[in-house]
A and B are shown apart, each in its own frame.
Chain A
């Protein structure tokens, strides 16, 4: 059985995907207490009751994008970073799950760094497909973010007892396929996990969802099931992705899957438009679509409670 088939069997039906999907805000704040990462709420929510380690996820800033869906993607990234700066409790660090830039241009990378650095947080990146379309694919990204990474930019690190793994599933894509990690990266991952005890909480982040959200639009990873296989023995696994510019989440056994929203523009829900291209909403609605939503995942609960909360209005 191929990874695909397996994904299909275990994956959500389209209806289910739509059921547990909703808009959320510009960033998701995560906390780790007692080994289980818990989504606390979208940026902008007070953090008063938080204990343990918190970190932040932003995604799909698409710096350089200037089309009708959002003529100023750099501006909305800045608004998101301002939200981060305004947090009462400072997160330990931030992850960016790719598509930092729109066209992998030097200026786009520079502009993104200038804005994101204003958060004053250590930021760990993985590339999106938009970050590796320079003349020498991936050269600009790697020069900035890949110095300590392997291959196309994958790496791991430990913080407060949690093992974080950044994977790259946007390089060397094959005709007709989905996202792809490739055998070298999978071998590295198996080796990376070897010495870890099953009680170590694991957080995996990559650009394209590691599970199949919607195959027709390429929203999945061909060899994602092999990653999940390697993570099977761990008691707490959280998979964080971007790429689809909307929140989709599911809990399956010990694994929590979550995709973050973009800071740049929304994309349609699976199958609700002719293509997954940028979704234009009325100008005065953009920030309500990018607006914040509270995401709350209580330990022991299998569902995340989501309450829409527009950024403006």
Chain B
């Protein structure tokens, strides 16, 4: 217990120090989950920051495939399979299911990245 508390405390202190010094805080990059259920991406639109990762999980009994033309393309995701993509540029990225193209979603990436 004590050790764990100590480690957590040390991590928090290091983090504060990093923030104070304006060091890159990649460790803060967030992961946003998108569920594929009933032939729908949910949420249909997610907003993340540059450096964040979006993870899609297929919860249908049918495979799906996440495609954003020119940016990324997953393998076929069977039930329970996941696909993650880390967004390194700001912008609005439309995507769809390569097997069921009526399924569509959007990832908005906010950030100070220069395009």
Contacts and interface: CB of A to CB of B under 8 A. Distances in A.
Q: Which label, helix, strand, loop or mixed, suits the secondary structure of the B interface?
A: loop
Contacts of B94: 175
Contacts, number: 57
Nearest to A133: B76
Interface in A133-160: 133, 135
Given A67-B79, A218-B101, A277-B39, A176 B61 contact: no
B41 to A, nearest CB: 12
A218 B75 CA distance: 21
Interface string B62-93: 11010101000001101100000000000000
Nearest to B64: A133
Size range of the interface on A? 20 to 34
B32 interface: no
B104 to A, nearest CB: 6
A133 B99 contact: yes
B110 interface: no
A175 B60 contact: no
Nearest to B94: A175
Interface residues of B, number: 23
B104 A218 contact: no
Given A175-B104, A217-B102, A277-B61, 10 more contacts: A67-B61, A102-B63, A129-B99, A175-B67, A175-B95, A175-B101, A176-B96, A178-B102, A274-B38, A275-B39
A275 B63 contact: no
A198 interface: no
Nearest to A280: B61
A173 B101 contact: yes
B101 A176 contact: yes
A274 B40 CA distance: 10
Contacts of A103: 63, 76, 78
B100 interface: yes
Nearest to B76: A133
B98 A135 contact: no
Interface string B47-70: 000000000000011110101010
A173 B39 contact: no
Q: Is the interface of A mostly helix, strand, loop or mixed?
A: loop
Given A67-B79, A103-B76, A104-B76, A276 B101 contact: no
Contacts of B60: 275, 277
A15 B94 CA distance: 34
Given A129-B99, A217-B102, A218-B100, A278 B78 contact: no
A176 B103 CA distance: 7
B63 to A, nearest CB: 6
Nearest to B102: A218
B95 to A, nearest CB: 8
A174 interface: yes
B69, B94, B95, B96: residue with the most chain A Cβ atoms closer than 10 Å: B96
